């Protein structure tokens, strides 16, 4: 199943990233560098050959994720109900009949959103409590979430105000995934919201997507709370 899915993903082309303008902070960094002062820089994703999944809706609990050829790879659904709500993650099952272009989908994961008690995540039949599987970490309480993937590696989601970023939790700071907000082209190029993932994570792609949905929902809650309190 996974190799078939990756057949679709391999068609994803690397995004064209415009060269950033030099901001005032960068002038300061350059000036310090000329004086021999080493300034730590924010690690960024190595954009070459990354997978890009375009979101139909920034509200990740009800969205469709397509690759750059327009093939739907994942989609989420969260029916409205009072109290506890459940988000189901579906993954495409490509149709092997070349004359039938209609793909089907199978449910591979769920997030049961509890209000008071810890939420529950399920992936390929395995159930995990969020407070144990992807707990809070760091000085800024709740702004980082870590988890251990089936490959035995520990990963960390940084929850910023407007985006989320994934890296290995090994101190290297190598960024492996990043969300991108919708751009209307006022500054930079116009594009839909998308999730960018390094190809090194192809073997745990389902887990990356499910945990992305979880941390992005937390980030959106913080953003909405800030808007309402303003």
The per-residue pLDDT for 171 is 86
pLDDT of 77 over the 80 cut: yes
Give the pLDDT band (50/70/90) at residue 173.
confident
The per-residue pLDDT for 201 is 97
pLDDT of 66 over the 50 cut: yes
To which residue do tokens 């039938």 refer?
Answer: 100
pLDDT of 203 over the 90 cut: yes
pLDDT of 32 over the 60 cut: no
The per-residue pLDDT for 56 is 97
- pTM equals 0.76
Overall average pLDDT of the 65-88 stretch: 95
pLDDT of 145 over the 80 cut: yes
Ordered DSSP codes for 162-220:
S-EEEEETTTT--EEEEEE--B-SSSS--B--EEEE-GGGGGGHHHHHHHHHHHHHHHH
pLDDT of 190 over the 90 cut: no
- Mean pLDDT across the chain, nearest whole number? 81
The per-residue pLDDT for 48 is 54
The per-residue pLDDT for 96 is 76
Give the pLDDT band (50/70/90) at residue 139.
low
């Amino acid at each position: 199943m996974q190799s078939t899915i990756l057949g679709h993903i391999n068609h994803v082309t690397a995004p064209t990233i415009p060269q950033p303008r030099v901001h005032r902070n960068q002038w300061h960094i350059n000036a310090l560098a000329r004086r021999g002062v080493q300034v730590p820089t924010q690690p960024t994703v190595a954009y070459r050959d990354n997978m890009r999944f375009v979101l139909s809706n920034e509200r990740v609990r009800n969205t469709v994720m397509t690759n750059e050829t327009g093939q739907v790879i994942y989609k989420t659904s969260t029916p409205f109900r009072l109290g506890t709500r459940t988000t189901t993650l579906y993954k495409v099952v490509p149709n092997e009949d070349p004359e039938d272009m209609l793909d089907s989908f199978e449910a591979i994961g769920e997030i049961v959103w509890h209000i008071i008690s810890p939420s529950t995540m399920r992936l390929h039949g395995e159930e995990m409590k969020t407070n144990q599987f992807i707990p809070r970490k760091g000085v800024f309480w709740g702004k980082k979430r870590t988890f251990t993937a089936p490959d035995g590696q520990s990963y960390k989601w940084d929850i910023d105000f407007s985006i989320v970023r994934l890296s290995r939790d090994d101190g290297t700071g190598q960024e492996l995934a990043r969300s991108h907000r919708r751009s209307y082209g006022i500054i930079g190029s116009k594009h839909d919201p998308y999730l960018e993932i390094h190809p090194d994570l192809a073997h745990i792609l389902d887990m990356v997507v499910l945990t992305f949905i979880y941390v992005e929902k937390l980030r959106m809650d913080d953003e909405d709370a800030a808007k309402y309190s303003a």
